[in-house]
Structure 1
Amino acid sequence: MSLKDFPDRKLLSELEVLRQIHKALRLKKPFSLVRIGDGENIALSQGKFLSNEEIEKTYWVRQGKRTKGKGVTLPSLPLRDQMLDGIRKANLVGICRAQNDEVAAPSKFKRSLTNKIFDYYKLKPANLCYVFCNRKMVSYRYFWKILHQHRTLLISKWADQYTQLIRKNYLSLPPNIIGCINFNHYEQIPATLKKVGEYRFDLVLISAGVNAVILA
Structure 2
Amino acid sequence: MKGTVRAGSSKGGSSTGGVIRISKAGRTGVVLSRGKASTAERVGKASMAGSVIVAGKADRIGNVGNVGKASRPGGGIRVGKVARARGVGKTDKARRSSRAAGERASRAGGAALAPPAQSRLRQGPAPRRRASAQGRRAAARAKQRTAMRRAPKPAPQASSPQAMPASGAGPAPRQTTHPQGVVVPAGREGAAASAGSANGVPPPAAEHAVQAAGPGGYAAGYRDGVFAGGEALVAQHIPPDHILPAVAAADLIAAGFRQYAPSLTRLTSPHEMAGHIMAALDAQRPLSVVRLGDGELLTLAADTVLPAAEVQELAPFLPYAGVPCSTPDIRATLAEAIRGADWVGVPISRAPTFQGLLFPVLRHFGIDWSRLKLTSSTINYSLHQSRLLLPILQGRRVLLIGSQAAELGALLQLHGVQVTGIIPAVAGMADIPRVMQLTSEHTFDIALVAAGIPAVVLCRRIGGELGSVAFDFGHLADKLVTGELQL
- By how many angstroms is 1:176 displaced? 1.6
In structure 2, distance between residues paired with 1:116 and 1:51 = 14
In structure 2, distance between residues paired with 1:142 and 1:57 = 38
Q: Within 5 Å, which residues of 2 pair with 1:165-176? A: 165-168=411-414, 170=415, 174-176=416-418
- By how many angstroms is 1:142 displaced? 3.4
Gaps of 5+ in 2: 1-259, 460-487
Match of 2:398 in 1: 152
Q: Find the residue that maps to 1:70 and give its secondary structure.
A: coil
Asked if the contact 2:292/2:346 (under 8 Å) is kept, the reply is yes
| Matched residues, number | 196
Alignment equivalent of 2:354, drawn from 100, 110, 114: 110
In structure 1, distance between residues paired with 2:397 and 2:413 = 14
In structure 2, distance between residues paired with 1:78 and 1:152 = 31
What does the per-residue CA deviation read over 1:147-168, in whole Å, with 9 as the maximum and x for residues that have no partner? 1121111111111111122333
Asked if the contact 2:304/2:364 (under 8 Å) is kept, the reply is no
Q: Find the residue that maps to 1:199 and give its secondary structure.
A: coil
In structure 1, distance between residues paired with 2:291 and 2:439 = 21
Normalised to the residue count of structure 2, the TM-score between the two structures is: 0.38
Alignment equivalent of 1:77, drawn from 328, 335, 339: 328
In structure 2, distance between residues paired with 1:160 and 1:192 = 16
In structure 2, distance between residues paired with 1:113 and 1:120 = 11
Q: Are 2:450 and 1:196 aligned? A: no
Query: Aligned letter for 1:75?
Result: S
Q: Are 2:345 and 1:94 aligned? A: yes
User: Relative contact order (C-alpha < 8 Å, sep 6+): which is higher?
Assistant: 1
Aligned-residue sequence identity (percent) comes to: 26
In structure 2, distance between residues paired with 1:165 and 1:11 = 30
Alignment equivalent of 1:187, drawn from 414, 423, 430: 430
Query: Aligned letter for 1:202?
Result: D
Q: Name segments (4+ residues, structure 1) moved above 6 Å.
A: none
In structure 2, distance between residues paired with 1:142 and 1:53 = 41
- By how many angstroms is 1:130 displaced? 0.7
Q: Are 2:286 and 1:30 aligned? A: yes
Query: Aligned letter for 1:80?
Result: R
**Residues 64, 85 of structure 1: CA spacing in aligned structure 2 closer, same or farther, 3 A cutoff?**
closer
Match of 1:63 in 2: 317
In structure 2, distance between residues paired with 1:121 and 1:7 = 23
In structure 1, distance between residues paired with 2:283 and 2:413 = 27
Query: Aligned letter for 1:7?
Result: L
Asked if the contact 2:401/2:449 (under 8 Å) is kept, the reply is yes
What does the per-residue CA deviation read over 1:111-154, in whole Å, with 9 as the maximum and x for residues that have no partner? 12101112222323431011101012123443212211211111
**Residues 127, 197 of structure 1: CA spacing in aligned structure 2 closer, same or farther, 3 A cutoff?**
same
- By how many angstroms is 1:206 displaced? 0.6
Greater radius of gyration (CA): 2
What does the per-residue CA deviation read over 1:34-91, in whole Å, with 9 as the maximum and x for residues that have no partner? 1011111001112211222112211x2x2355xxx22221132211111111111111
In structure 2, distance between residues paired with 1:57 and 1:139 = 34
Higher helix share: 1
**RMSD of aligned Cα (Å):** 2.0
- By how many angstroms is 1:29 displaced? 1.4
Q: Are 2:420 and 1:178 aligned? A: yes
Match of 2:309 in 1: 53
Asked if the contact 2:297/2:353 (under 8 Å) is kept, the reply is yes
What does the per-residue CA deviation read over 1:159-186, in whole Å, with 9 as the maximum and x for residues that have no partner? 1111122333x2xxx1121111112322
Q: Find the residue that maps to 2:287 and give its secondary structure.
A: coil
